[in-house]
Amino acid sequence: MNANLFIANKTAEAVKSLYGVETEASAIQTQATRKEFEGDVTVVVFPLLRTSKKSPDVTATEIGDYLANNCNEIASYNVVKGFLNIKLSTTFWNEVLGSIINDKNFGQLPPTGKTVMVEFSSPNTNKPLHLGHIRNNLLGWSVSQLLAANGHNVVKVNLVNDRGIHICKSMLAWQRKGNGVTPASSGKKGDHLVGDFYVEFNNMLVDEVNKIMDEKGLDKDEATKEATVLKDAQEMLFKWENGDAAVVDLWKTMNGWVYEGFAETYKNLGISFDKTYYESQTYLLGKSLVQKGLEMGIFDKHEDGSVWCDLTADGLDQKLLLRSDGTSVYMTQDIGTANQRYDQYHFDEHIYVVGNEQNYHFQVLKLVLKKLGFDWSDAIYHLSYGMVELPEGKMKSREGTVVDADDLLEKMYNTAKETSIELGKIDGMSEEEQNELFRIISLGALKYFIIKVDPKKTMLFDPRESIDFNGNTGPFIQYTHARIKSILRKAADQGIAPRLTGAGLLPKEESIIQMLSSYPDKIKEGGDAHSPAIIANYAYELAKEFNQYYHDTTILKEENSDVRDQRLALIETIAKVLTKAMNILGITLPDRM
């Protein structure tokens, strides 16, 4: 039962009775009453003046009188400058709490029948996952969970960029500098080993470019064009696309190393996918669609053999679809992959979770697909998120200055361990329980710190700030949940169980119940905005409200058993709703801390 919806329905009844006009409840404007006024829900009566043909104050007073005389749930009302502030009764709020407790699926919206595909992660196989990938993965996962809570059928997909010039650079460097090293012989995760050779390629290129600049007096751009190591990498890509056996075998081997490394990182992050696509398996379909576009006359082949789509009439520019040597680009495979996915799932919406540096790419993708005759291209939505920066600045993969995901997870674990021990959060726990708690806290800190920021914003990540048991952090919410569970265990030890008694409620208790009842609205709001940050900050506000309530209110030592048991029911419900909200973010709430 939602207070705003309840008042909207009752106000619609009042308008019909008072003025003889049918009004939809959805047309009634309601909002939470401002803190400086008495009330729970405020009705904005100005849109109703055409119907009442009376002044704002008179209209508000007439509706208020009707509600007070005809609804037992209305305790009182007041009118302030045309705004009708309504105070709901204790009985109403007890009924709301009971409805939340009895609804096993509270917060899960009804099925929509809509299929939503969410692509996230999409790593390249030339390097391990880094901090930027972590934001992508955590955002993609939580958006998927949020959309599922909105009643949609959600398909989580990954596209592995397993072919192209990037992996050829790592392969070439391994051939020339690797001396046959493997993950087994080096003791390194495969994705880390391959990433080392991507950095090594860049070192080789820099050395050669500097040498050419010194010997021939060329500028950097001209020298780069002459660098044989870059030409050799491009030649390797050409050989791969033409099925050269030796190149393909090395490609399979090194990608295999990377996949094993990725799988371990995904597992540690608590991330999984319903289906994984590989660029190597979709780029040919993309090339066939480019050929179709040529035949349709919507693409152009230049003299050098490259294929382009002229989008200047659409306010963009010319977009390369195939290189002059026939090799494909990212756009080629994205065209093919999107078509394949629609044929397989007939999605109603396809969300690409990709950083904002690719905004133009997805503008072009939608437009090219539309020109190819695919009306479903309108279903494509680019969830464009801001970059993650560090106190020391931006990260650069080719220079080896990224924050590695595995290293970050380990650092977070160690920080959680140190902080927990320092604050005495592990007293009485076995070693196994301690290690699990450190893991839960470290992941909760990382996930919450990243997800609480609106996706569109660039964010500054500082691991030290994220693990804090006070403030807007994951550990604060985790500790709040553990504190509630501790109270409930003590109650159980005394033979006391939470129960609804219909006892009187404090104003703070009514406001908490109102906040709890708004959870489904937050689910919808977050889903519509594709923003799990809305759920993260809701959980924080709820945890904050509990802590203030706990500080000011007697619970277990309350002498009136009806009041005590009802308060236990209230805090138990807070714990359950916090668990639901944080589950959407992929965060576990421990019972003990």
- What are the DSSP calls for 315-349, one per residue? TS-EEEEE-TTS-B-HHHHHHHHHHHHHHHH--SE
Residue 520, φ and ψ in degrees, nearest 5: -60, -35
User: Do 121 and 397 form a contact (C-beta atoms < 8 A)?
Assistant: no
β-strands 349-355, 115-119: how paired?
parallel
Q: In the CATH hierarchy, which fold is given to the domain comprising 405-584?
A: Isoleucyl-tRNA Synthetase; Domain 1 (1.10.730)
The tokens describing 545, both together, are 């409200």
Tell me the CATH number for domain 3-88: 3.30.1360.70
Q: Which CATH architecture has domain 120-389?
A: 3-Layer(aba) Sandwich (3.40)
Strand ranges (E), 231-348: 275-278, 300-301, 307-310, 318-322
Considering only CA atoms, which of 543, 550, 574, 572 is closest in space to residue 472?
543
Considering only CA atoms, which of 549, 482, 445 is closest in space to residue 138?
445
pTM over 0.85: yes
Sheet holding 83-88, edge to edge: 29-32, 41-44, 83-88, 74-80
Residue 197, φ and ψ in degrees, nearest 5: -80, -25
The rounded distance, in Å, linking the Cα atoms of 104 and 436 is 28
Q: Is the fold of 3-88 the same as that of 405-584?
A: no
For 181-212, b/e burial (b = at least 16 CB within 10 A) is eebeeeebbbbbbbbbbbbbbbebbbebbeeb
pLDDT at residue 393 in the model = 52
List the domain boundaries for the chain: 3-88, 120-389, 405-584
pLDDT at residue 395 in the model = 44
The rounded distance, in Å, linking the Cα atoms of 170 and 41 is 62
Measured in whole angstroms, how far is the alpha carbon of residue 237 from the centre of its chain?
35
Rg (CA), the chain: 30
pLDDT mean values, one per 10 residues, the chain (593 residues): 91 96 93 92 95 95 96 95 95 96 96 98 92 93 98 97 92 97 97 95 95 91 93 94 95 97 95 94 91 95 95 93 87 94 97 95 96 96 88 51 81 87 82 92 93 89 75 93 97 97 94 96 97 97 98 96 98 98 97 90
- Our separate counts of H helices and E strands in the chain read 22, 14
